[in-house]
Structure 1
Amino acid sequence: MINIGIVGTGLMASVIASSCRKIGIPIHSVLSRNLESARSFGEKYKVPIERCFSDEMAFYSDEALKAVYIATPTSMKQKHINQALDFKKHMLVEKPIPNSFLVNNTLNQVSSSNLIFMDASHFLHNEFMVELPSLINKFVGNITRIDADFIWPSIDDGHIKFKPKLEPNGALGDLGWYPIRILQTLCDCDDSMILNPVIFNNDNDCTVGFNAIGYVDKTIFNISSSYHGATVRQELIISGDKGEIRVNDFVMPYCGSFVYGKVVDSLKVTISSGFLPLVEKQERRIVFDDYQHHQMLKCFQQSIDGARDESWWDSQHLMLRTVSMIEHIKEKAVVINV
């Protein structure tokens, strides 16, 4: 097992630290801007006090440290990614990742130094994503339309996601990462893509939502994310010349995510076609072997150990395309103040 260091002490750092302990990945050290925060975090997750750091150089220069999980605000990630590169550490980086130049440069460097650079997109690491290609082949056919939405109701209460200096992309980066990433997974979103985005900003210039419609690779798409809403929505609909499949919890499944745990025993995929979809439908149930964030950590470990097939390299390219599309949306969007 690798020795991993945790960069940051917030919610996601706690989720990953707890998961590491459950699946047997040693937490070697922790880094925080505040030494007391680092020590408090270390005490909770059994990290020796001498390996709880606020000094970045001392943290990264530790030769026993082999990998890092970076869970800082987005505005600070570039610095930590570059430091991890300098000290030859494998990286698992919480989304969103700041910019496409950084991703491209990092991918070029890790490919020549046998390091792993992976985005922490939990939802990619579950049995639904494994079965998705066969579901599309059997029930969707040639994809003609993709609808993906992620709404997580939130009030601007001073959380860092509402602070543009810390999270410059707001809901576009925080929540929008998921519909954009699934779109990139399903379509070849190249330079021929037609894109019409709208971004919604609040009075503090924080992006609280976005919508984008477009067309690429013979496929219409409609994607969105928002902090505005009365209830959580995480819906994915994939339509084609055979029919469509629909999933109501594609980001944080109710059967295996850190948010919901396992409040149901399986993920439901609704399959329909024709003019009576509410009647002429069927359901598939997909059971998860483990929580998706546990499976992500296992994938990170296995990748470091050398298990990197063609799909692994494809995922690196998709990470870059996801970041690039976020930039493209910001560049082209009509901005509405709400």
Structure 2
Amino acid sequence: MTTLRLGIVGAGMIAGVIVEAVKRAVGVEVVAVASRRPDSAKKFAQEQGIPHEFDTWQEMLSSDEIDAVYVATPTSSKEEIALFGAKHKKHLLVDKPFASMASVQAMVDAAKANGVAFMDATHFTHNPRTHQLRQTMTSEIGQPQALRSSFFFPFMDRTNIRFDTEKEPTGAVGDMTWYSMRAVAEFLQPTTPVKVMSGGIIRDEETNAVIRGTGVVMFEDGKSSTFDFGYNAGTCLMDLDILGHDAVFSLNDWVLDWKQGFAFDDPDHVIGYTKRTEMQTPKQHTYISADSDTPQAVAMMTHFAELAANPSSEQNTKAQDLAILTQSLLDAYWEAVK
């Protein structure tokens, strides 16, 4: 397989995570970077050993130096960059948050029209554990009927872009609830939602940014999801329960696994999940291993290279559909919030 030459728009923390992931991935290399501040792109390129830096993303996406782009910019500029990239035949890997489902749909349509791949950069989707859960749910816990999720991390840095309501108007909703909605798309495979309710959001008194919230989604087929999210719980919570008719799968590190999620590094941890059934006490619960030595960010970059090699594949269509479904659920929640 020809090595995919990746350019990055953005020079922040998450861009560095992707560079490190690419170093271990198969079929892809980072060859260029651009940023709204050229000095930041130059510094990032020097620190990461990237051979090319560009003063503008337009120059980079117009060049023949790259085959694909990873977009790690504020929400307001992602669609413009992605559409420009697709027009110039660059495969698209775009990080959340997104502005709306219409925006995601526009990116997907542009990718299809120009014969390139589109994928959102949601790491846990690519964890081998996620595939194992999908494959074994029905046989192990019965037909999945509901999800309960919570995602919090302690982050009240008001100088961060998450607290800038002009650049990130949905705050913690777009940043964190995306994962809860993606879990719904991955594990429930739901029908049309019949009711989306906000249990309320909390805004920061100084910036007015959304910093916490809760909600419920109910579907035509009787499935449902409840979720809580935010920055102000004082710790990292990544709890997910998948409720079947016979048992429950539980995870406490579903977004970034403890072993090698980019925020954590516990090499002795065995990636997996707990099965709970009947009237068991905690010591009777079964821990099911889904261990891997490949970090989910690395797997994501390898999968992206595979999609780019065959953008008309069924796998690419599935990736696009997952992004659209996730954002449609997120949009419905945001409308309930408003």
1:145-204 CA deviation, whole Å, 9 max, x = no partner?
A: 210110111113311111111212111111111111001222344444322112222222
Quote the residue 2:21 is aligned against: 19
Distance 1:73 1:104 in 2: 18
Residue type of the alignment partner of 2:154: P
1:256–1:288 Cα contact (<8 Å) kept: no
Pairing 1:65-76 to 2, within 5 Å after superposition = 65-76=66-77
14-23 or 285-294, larger mean C-alpha shift = 14-23
306-315 or 222-231, larger mean C-alpha shift = 306-315
Q: 1:297 aligns with which of 285, 289, 301?
A: 301
Shift in Å, 1:135: 2.9
Q: Structure 1: which 5+ residue stretches go unaligned? A: none
237-246 or 307-316, larger mean C-alpha shift = 307-316
Distance 2:297 2:189 in 1: 26
Q: TM-score, normalised by structure 2?
A: 0.92
Quote the residue 1:99 is aligned against: 100
Shift in Å, 1:309: 5.1
Quote the residue 2:49 is aligned against: 46
1:7–1:69 Cα contact (<8 Å) kept: yes
Quote the residue 1:278 is aligned against: 282
Is residue 248 of structure 1 aligned with residue 252 of structure 2? yes
Distance 2:267 2:145 in 1: 33
1:147–1:223 Cα contact (<8 Å) kept: yes
Distance 2:278 2:25 in 1: 45
Pairing 1:77-156 to 2, within 5 Å after superposition = 77-156=78-157
Is residue 208 of structure 1 aligned with residue 222 of structure 2? no
Shift in Å, 1:138: 2.2
| Two-structure CA RMSD over aligned residues (Å) | 1.8
Q: TM-score, normalised by structure 1?
A: 0.92
Shift in Å, 1:280: 3.8
Quote the residue 2:59 is aligned against: 58
Quote the residue 1:35 is aligned against: 38
1:51-73 CA deviation, whole Å, 9 max, x = no partner?
A: 31122332111023210111111
Is residue 5 of structure 1 aligned with residue 3 of structure 2? no
Distance 2:158 2:58 in 1: 33
Is residue 221 of structure 1 aligned with residue 225 of structure 2? yes
Aligned residues: 332
Residue type of the alignment partner of 1:52: E
Distance 1:271 1:55 in 2: 50
Identity %: 24
Quote the residue 1:174 is aligned against: 175
2:71–2:81 Cα contact (<8 Å) kept: yes
Residue type of the alignment partner of 1:324: S
190-199 or 35-44, larger mean C-alpha shift = 190-199
Quote the residue 2:331 is aligned against: 327
Residue type of the alignment partner of 2:188: C
Shift in Å, 1:4: 0.8
SS at match of 2:256: coil
Shift in Å, 1:307: 7.5
